[in-house]
Amino acid sequence: MELGLKDKVAIVTGGSKGIGRATALGFIEEGAHVLICARGEETLEAVAQELSAMGKGRVVAVPADLTRAEAIQEVVAHCLEAFGRIDILVNNAGSARPGDFFQLPDEAWQEDWSLKFFGYMRMAREVLHHMLRQRNGVIINVIGTGGLRPTAGYMVGGSANAALIHFTKALADEGAKNGVRVVGINPGPILTERLERFLTTLGGEGKKEEVLQRLTPLGRVGKPEEVADLVLFLSSARAAFIHGANITIDGGANPGLMG
């Protein structure tokens, strides 16, 4: 399927690892130009070099901590300086922690919400100004099924995800006035560094394969590339009628009627 992403300009937050890295790679394979950002400079630069070496689209890497409002403005300014426009924003950088309700202090809630909810909201607001001027653009929020399946052990991330599911639909209403599409994606368990970190909580390193198999009815966890493929499709004109939707990609793990 021809996606028509050649020469589009995409920002992928958290583009140095996991789902973000796979998504940035996918955009480059399609001939798009990409700005990736994350905190760790060494890994970010290594991924930028890897993507540039593919000899397709241009790559810009901007080290940034997206819990800081100023960092978000800097990332967007960098993108406009380098490429002159922003066609696609993939809000993906997030790292909310699991934990016992009584053990997690206010600081943990504030820190995780400042990246996952405020980071997404601020980035979308900053980028939307430019997309509205272009009267065109797509914003994809990579959220998570934790927002659909409330559990005591993942309240911080789950509640931020639920807020983002709402935000995605509300932002779609705003974007529609000027031709900007907004879509949310809810991944279930996807094998990235983040899931590896959670494994200890889920059942211990020793039983890793067993735990991974039990996480979905398909008997396996997802691959970052599988989420990236969905992001690419939703970013493309092939998905022009998909707007304000929150789409689940979880191997059937969510048993509920929604998502």
Q: Which residues bind ligand NAP (CB under 6 A)?
A: 14, 16-20, 38-40, 43, 64-67, 92-95, 115, 142, 144, 187, 189-190, 192-195
**For 28, phi and psi rounded to 5 degrees?**
-65, -40
CA distance 5 to 232: 8
Question: Is-contact 25 48, C-beta < 8 A?
Answer: no
**Position closest to ligand NAP via CB:** 18
CA distance 133 to 146: 34
Nearer to ligand NAP, 43 or 254 (CB): 43
Nearer to ligand NAP, 76 or 93 (CB): 93
Q: Where do runs of H (alpha helix) occur along 135-216?
A: 155-176, 193-202, 208-214
Give least dist CB 107 to ligand NAP, A: 14
Give least dist CB 189 to ligand NAP, A: 5
What is the C-alpha end-to-end distance of the chain, expressed in Å? 25
Nearer to ligand NAP, 142 or 180 (CB): 142
Give least dist CB 29 to ligand NAP, A: 18
Give least dist CB 21 to ligand NAP, A: 7
Give least dist CB 130 to ligand NAP, A: 20
Nearer to ligand NAP, 46 or 237 (CB): 46
Residue corresponding to tokens 């100023």: 70
Instruction: Of 89, 98, 90, 57, give the one whose Cα is nearest residue 189.
Output: 98
